[in-house]
Amino acid sequence: MRTIAIDSAQNERFRTWEKLLDGRGIRKHGAFLLAGRKTVPEALRAGPGRFTAVLAPDTPALETLDPLLPEGIARHVLARPLFERLDVSGTGLPILVGTVPEMPAIDPATAPQGLELVCALGDPANLGALLRSAAAFGVRRVLLLPDCAHPFHPKCLRAAANAVFRLEFRRLAGWKALDGATGPLFALDGGGHDLTVFAWPDDLRLVLGEEGQGLPDSLAARRLAIPTSGAVESLNATVAASIALQHWFSRRSA
């Protein structure tokens, strides 16, 4: 397939790609940008059909990916100033344009399967780190509350290291939707039950509120606590969730 050169910031395709740098544009266009020295080749090997275009700063950079590019993918070489506007991580390496998978709404009255995360993290980098831990410890489904960052935001993708492609995402209408949730519902709280001696059920939902804001007082979830030395007031939400996930995974695997 021929390579298309783009050197104008007024180009319609470029303007669309630039909108994929934030969650609003990703939701509107149903597409995302993936960058990274390791993540791009790994993603192409694992699921080449996810991607519709590849963007590069020059022809030699584009040619480094040729053996991995699927037939029919659109190839673009961008003027370097334009490419750098999209290459927010500063890799200087080709960027993939992918299609966001369907993330349908879920009725929480449906019983959980395994450990399902209910997430309101608004920082995309924190969300990405959480998703990486989630995939590592056997989570398959993540339920996104309205204020949650988009899982295909560039900062989230960078922190997740391709973990998003191993997870299934569903949308929740809001906190009130959890009032009728089926199955065990848990949340992390310093005053809760010690999770290191907790008998984890196989199927449950673990709720994570926004960093600093916590959870609604009305949330009917059993609280679990991570014992610490007390030297700090609290743990980062992503760190705390990762510890909880590891405990659930180790008990389940024992």
Q: Where are the domains of the chain?
A: 3-99, 115-253
Q: What's the CA gap between 110 and 131, in Å, rounded?
A: 22
Domains 3-99 and 115-253 share a fold: no
> Given this model, what pLDDT does residue 83 score?
98
- Beta strand 74-78 pairing with 3-6: parallel
CB 238 within 8 A of CB 130: yes
Global pTM value: 0.95
What topology does CATH give the domain 115-253? Answer: Alpha/beta knot (3.40.1280)
Instruction: Kindly indicate the confidence band of residue 42, based on its pLDDT and cuts at 50, 70 and 90.
Output: very high
Which residue's entry shows tokens 């080749």? 41
pLDDT in tens, 54-97: 999 999 999 999 999 999 999 999 999 999 999 999 999 999 99
**Residue 254 pLDDT:** 64
CATH number for 3-99 (one of 3.30.1330.30, 1.10.1670.10, 3.20.20.105, 3.30.70.1290): it is 3.30.1330.30
